Structure 1
Amino acid sequence: MNPSLLAAQTGHSHLRRLFLLRNWAILAQLATLALVHRFLSTDFAWLPMLGATGLLAAVNLLTWWRLSLDFPVGNPELFLQLCADVLALTVLLYYGGGSTNPFVSLYLLPLVIAAATLPRRHTWGMAALTLACYSLLMVWYVPLPNGGSAHAQHAAVTGTTVTDAAVTDMAQMDHSHHRMDAAPAAPQPVAPLPAAPLEDAFNTHVIGMWLGFVISALVVAYFVVEMARAVRLRDAQLNRAREETLRNERIVALGTQAAGAAHELGTPLATMAVVIGEMRNECAAPEQKNNLNILDEQVKNCKRILDGLLSHAQEIPEELPAEEFIRKVLDEWQLLRPTAHYRFRTGELQPAPRLRADPALRSALLNLLNNAADASPEEMDILLRRDNGNITLEIHDHGPGLTPDAAARAGSAFFTTKQDGRGLGLFLANATIERLGGSVRLFNRKDGGATTELILPVAREVA
Structure 2
Amino acid sequence: MLQLIQLRWIAVIGQVVTIGVVEFGFGIRLPLQLMALVLATLVLLNILSLLRLRFRGSVGNAGLFVALAFDVAALTAQLYLSGGATNPFISLYLLQVTLAAILLEVRWAWGMAAITSACCLGLTLTYQPLELPDHLSGDLFRLHLQGIVVCFVLVAALLVVFVTRISGNLRAQDANLAAMRQQAAEEDHIVRMGLLASGAAHELGTPLSTVSVILGDWQRVPALQAIPDVAQDVEDMQAAIRRCKAILTGILLSAGEARGEAPAVTTLYAFMEDLIGHWRLSRPAARLTYDSSFGEDVSIVADPALKQVIANVLDNAYEASPSHIRMTAVRDAEDLVLTVSDDGPGFVPDMLAQLGKPYQSSKGKQGGGLGLFLVVNVLRKLGGGVTARNRPDGGATVTLRLPLSALLIQKASTHVS
TM-score range, shorter chain: 0.5 to 0.7
Distance 1:245 1:373 in 2: 31
Report the equivalent of 1:297.
Answer: 239
Aligned equivalents of 2:227, 2:354: Cα separation in 1:
49
1:454 alignment counterpart: 400
Aligned-partner Cα distance in 1 for 2:390–2:328: 16
Taking structure 2 as the reference length, the TM-score comes to 0.58
C-alpha separation in 1, matches of 2:160 and 2:260? 56
Alignment correspondent of 2:69: none
The answer on whether the counterparts of 1:354 and 1:461 sit within 8 Å (CA) in structure 2 is yes
2:248 to 290, 302, 306: 306
Please report how far the alpha carbon of residue 195 of structure 1 lies from its aligned counterpart in structure 2 after TM superposition: 11
Q: Matched residue of 1:441: which SS?
A: strand
Aligned match for 1:369, one of 303, 308, 314: 314
TM-score (structure 1 length as normaliser): 0.52
1:210/1:297 CA distance change after superposition, 3 Å: farther
- Taking the aligned partners of 1:397 and 1:448, their CA distance within structure 2 comes to 8
Measured after TM superposition, the shift of residue 339 of structure 1 is 1.8
Local SS of the residue matching 1:343: strand
1:254 partner letter: M
- The CA RMSD over aligned residues, in Å, is 3.3
Q: Shift of the alpha carbon at 1:259?
A: 1.6
Mapped contact 2:301–2:409 kept (Cα < 8 A): no
Q: How does 1:229-378 map to 2 (within 5 A)?
A: 229-276=168-215, 282=224, 293-308=235-250, 309-310=252-253, 312=258, 314-350=260-296, 352-378=297-323
Runs of 5+ unmatched residues, structure 2: 1-90, 103-134, 411-417
**What pairs up with 1:109-188 in 2 under 5 angstroms?**
none
1: CA distance between counterparts of 2:156 and 2:225? 90
Q: Which moved more, 1:217-226 or 1:435-444?
A: 217-226
Alignment partner of 1:312: what SS? coil
Give me the whole-angstrom Cα distance separating, in 1, the residues matched to 2:136 and 2:205: 104
- Do structure 1's residue 220 and structure 2's residue 159 form an aligned pair? yes
Q: Mapping of 1:81-120 within 5 angstroms?
A: none
Tell me if structure 2 keeps the 8 A contact 1:312–1:359: no
CA contact 2:331–2:337 (8 Å) conserved in 1: yes
> Displacement, 1:266?
0.8
Per mean C-alpha deviation after superposition, the further-off stretch among 394-403 and 275-284 is 275-284
User: In terms of mean alpha carbon deviation, does 267-276 or 373-382 score higher?
Assistant: 267-276
Q: 1:348 to 1:361 in 2, by over 3 A?
A: closer
Q: Rg: which structure is higher?
A: 1
1:404 correspondence with 2:349: yes
- On the 8 A contact 2:306/2:378 being kept in 1, the answer is yes
AA partner of residue 402 (structure 1): F
CA contact (8 A) 1:298 1:336 kept: no
Structure 1 residue 205: deviation in Å?
4.1
Which residue pairs with 2:335 in the alignment?
Answer: 390
The answer to whether the Cα contact below 8 Å between 2:346 and 2:396 also exists between their aligned partners in 1 is yes
Partner Cα distance (2:347, 2:169) in 1? 35
Mapped contact 1:399–1:449 kept (Cα < 8 A): yes
Q: 1:195 to 1:228 in 2, by over 3 A?
A: closer
Offset, 1:221: 2.8
Amino acid at match of 1:242: R
- Structure 1 CA distance for aligned equivalents of residues 392 and 228 of structure 2: 47
1:399-444 CA distances to partner (integer Å, 9 max, x unpaired)? 1111110111221122222223523211122212221222111122
Report the equivalent of 1:434. 380
SS at match of 2:357: coil
AA paired with 2:400?
Answer: L
- Aligned position for 1:131: none
* CA–CA distance in structure 2, aligned partners of residues 259 and 217 of structure 1: 62
Aligned residues: 272
Distance 2:259 2:171 in 1: 40
Q: Per-residue deviation at 1:271?
A: 2.9
Unaligned runs of 5+ in 1: 1-104, 117-193
Whether 1:425 and 2:367 are equivalent positions in the alignment is no
Instruction: Please state how far the C-alpha of 1:389 moved relative to its aligned partner.
Output: 0.8
Contact 1:413–1:427 (CA under 8 A) maintained in structure 2: yes
AA of the residue aligned to 1:296: Q
Q: How far off its partner does 1:202 sit?
A: 4.7
